[in-house]
Amino acid sequence: MNIIAVDDDRANVIMLQKILDKLDKSSDHRYYTDPLKVLEELDKPIETAFVDIGLPHMNGLELAERITARYPLCNVIFLTAHSEYALRAFEMHASGYIMKPFDYGKIEDALTHLRFRTPYFGSRPLQVQCFGSFEVFVNGEPVKFGRQKSKELLAYLIDRRGALCSMDMMIGNVEPDRPDDEASRSRIRVYIGDLKVTFLRLGIDDLIVRSSGTFAVDPALLDCDYYRYLSGDPYAISRYSGEYMTQYSFAEETRAFLEMKYYGGFHGDE
């Protein structure tokens, strides 16, 4: 896992280094006392960032916004001696909020409950192509969907990157010409059931996550070119040529985001 830790107190940085070296021995860790140095090296992939809120030059909340603008799937874990920033951290969808003084147990717990889980992409059972047309593969073989709308719903949930989606959101994006009524909700439930059956037959029974009437995909099960791109993977960046889920209209917002990122971010500094 690509982890950074940012704290202007060098003693805290040294403690974080000792803890992370024990918890995540085989990964790449980088440590900073100056947030401006982080921005200088923002081209290096970041999957998890431990960020002190009280930093010089810019506070940790501002730094986290800069990091997640480049890496939307980055897990941000705030470190602070003050509880008043908790609401702002929650609004930013932070993965964790650790009160100082921290210890081994608090850091371990934060890594155990990351918002975006990051096992090696190569170990994930599903391969998903978002660049160009949307396609899904298991062990190199294309997945056959019982309904094209089921496939479109899966594409929408993948586009949402693990965020929970309500019925009205799914209807508005997958069935935009139909009213938000019980008939439309029934169709969405049919598509969800179809997806569950499709992937259960392939040995994958937990791709679709449900919580209080909302639905999402588990990103940890996907080896997805879009997710790789957002994580800063050089190969995925090189594979993007301006096309994203070309058959679906709901993907236009993400296409615009990727175009801005492609021309103003990854390639704008070349």
3-state secondary structure 74-119: CEEEEEECCHHHHHHHHHCCCCEEEECCCCHHHHHHHHHCCCCCCC
Could you tell me the pLDDT band of residue 58, with boundaries at 50, 70 and 90? Answer: very high
Rounded Cα distance between 62 and 66, Å, is 6
Q: Which two tokens stand for residue 250?
A: 């709901």
CATH 3.40.50.2300 domain residues, the chain = 3-112
More confident residue, 119 or 237: 237
CB-based contact 64:94 (threshold 8 Å): yes
Contacts of 221 (CB under 8 A, 6+ apart): 124, 125, 126, 204, 206, 207
Could you tell me the pLDDT band of residue 123, with boundaries at 50, 70 and 90? Answer: low
Rounded Cα distance between 211 and 217, Å, is 11
Cβ-count burial 68-79 (b if 16+ within 10 Å, e if not): bebbebbbbbbb
CATH 1.10.10.10 domain residues, the chain = 123-266
Is the predicted pLDDT of residue 119 greater than 50, yes or no?
no
Rounded Cα distance between 178 and 196, Å, is 24
Q: What is the mean pLDDT of residues 115-142?
A: 80
The Cβ of residue 241 has, within 10 Å, a number of other Cβ atoms equal to 9
pLDDT one-digit tens code per residue, 40-52: 998 787 889 999 9
CATH assignment of 123-266, among 3.10.20.30, 3.40.1260.10, 3.40.30.10, 1.10.10.10: 1.10.10.10
pLDDT at position 259, please? Answer: 83
Query: In the CATH hierarchy, which fold is given to the domain comprising 3-112?
Result: Rossmann fold (3.40.50)
CB-based contact 62:85 (threshold 8 Å): no
Which run of H or E residues covers position 49? strand 48-52
Q: Which two tokens stand for residue 85?
A: 């920033």
Q: Which two tokens stand for residue 109?
A: 């717990």
Nearest to 222 by CA among 144, 134, 109: 134
pLDDT at position 196, please? Answer: 95
pLDDT at position 269, please? Answer: 44
CB-based contact 174:152 (threshold 8 Å): yes
Rounded Cα distance between 75 and 175, Å, is 32
Q: Tell me the Ramachandran region of residue 205: left when phi exceeds 0, alpha when psi lies from -120 to 50, beta otherwise.
A: alpha
